[in-house]
């Protein structure tokens, strides 16, 4: 997940870790609030795998590298050719992890780069997933409605409401995707 997010951001522009995390938060908000403890190890891992590379300090004419007013150590990363391939590979996946609670938000945040038919598969997979959850909640509430703890019942009630709304929300997105496919709509960035 973080791998996809980092590669997706670095494809747009080189950045250092701190900035990366701010951008991540701007896009994903609290859907996936990655922490430092994930980010830095991931950067190391991606670097070792040569999917990203650290830009050299680049001594300027007057040059102490980072020097002058630049921060002492500020590792700016850029995506490599292999990294781009890997990103495309990740973007092309539409398996369960692509519509998990965890993964769906991340994928959606980089949907513009995702091929249209993969987008469709992910949205439909997510829809199926959320429907399952909704149906499970419904049957639990109706069938065993009597013997369930009050608080648990409330929790399920909220879950039912949430899932119903997400299904409707997904339907809107799917409709929009379809209309894009028919060329009816302008693909507004």
Q: Which residues of 142-173 are buried (b: 16+ CB within 10 A; e: fewer)?
A: eeeeeeeeeeeeeebeebbeebeebbeebeeb
Which of the ranges 73-81, 132-140, 160-168, 175-183 carries the binding residues for DNA, by CB under 7 A? 73-81
Q: Footprint of a copy of itself on residues 94-153 (CB under 8 A)?
A: 101, 105, 108-109, 111-112, 133, 136-137, 140, 144, 149-152
At residue 165, what are phi and psi to the nearest 5 degrees?
-65, -40
Q: Answer for the pair 107, 3: CB distance below 8 angstroms, yes or no.
A: no
Q: 149 contacts which partner out of DNA, a copy of itself, none, CB within 5 to 8 A by kind?
A: a copy of itself
Binding-residue pattern over the window 90 to 129 for DNA, x denoting contact by CB under 7 A: ------xx--x-----------------------------
Comparison of 74 and 165: residue with beta carbon closer to a copy of itself: 165
Residues between 19 and 58 that touch DNA (CB under 7 A): 19, 32-38, 40-45
Please answer whether residues 121 and 20 qualify as being in contact, where contact means their C-beta atoms are separated by less than 8 angstroms. Answer: no
86 CB burial (10 A radius; 0-12, 13-18, 19+): buried
Per CB under 8 A, contacts with a copy of itself among 6-45 are: 26-27, 29-31
- Which is nearest to 114 in space by CA: 43, 31, 177? 177
Q: What are the residues binding DNA (CB under 7 A)? A: 1-3, 16-19, 32-38, 40-45, 69, 71-76, 96-97, 100
């Amino acid at each position: 997940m973080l791998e996809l997010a980092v590669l997706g951001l670095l494809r747009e522009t080189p950045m250092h870790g701190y900035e990366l995390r701010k951008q991540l938060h701007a896009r994903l908000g609290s859907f996936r609030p990655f922490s430092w403890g994930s980010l830095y190890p991931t950067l190391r891992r991606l670097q070792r795998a040569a999917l990203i590379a650290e830009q050299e300090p680049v001594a300027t004419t007057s040059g102490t590298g980072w020097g002058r007013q630049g921060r002492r150590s500020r590792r700016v990363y850029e995506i490599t050719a292999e990294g781009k391939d890997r990103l495309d590979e990740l973007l092309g996946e539409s398996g369960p992890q692509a519509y998990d609670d965890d993964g769906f938000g991340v994928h959606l945040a980089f949907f513009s780069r995702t091929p249209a038919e993969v987008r469709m598969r992910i949205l439909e997979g997510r829809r199926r997933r959320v429907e399952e959850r909704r149906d499970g909640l419904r049957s639990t509430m109706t069938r065993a409605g009597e013997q369930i703890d009050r608080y648990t019942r409330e929790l399920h009630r909220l879950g039912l409401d949430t899932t119903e709304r997400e299904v409707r929300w997904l339907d809107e997105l799917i409709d929009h995707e379809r209309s894009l496919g028919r060329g009816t709509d302008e693909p507004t960035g």
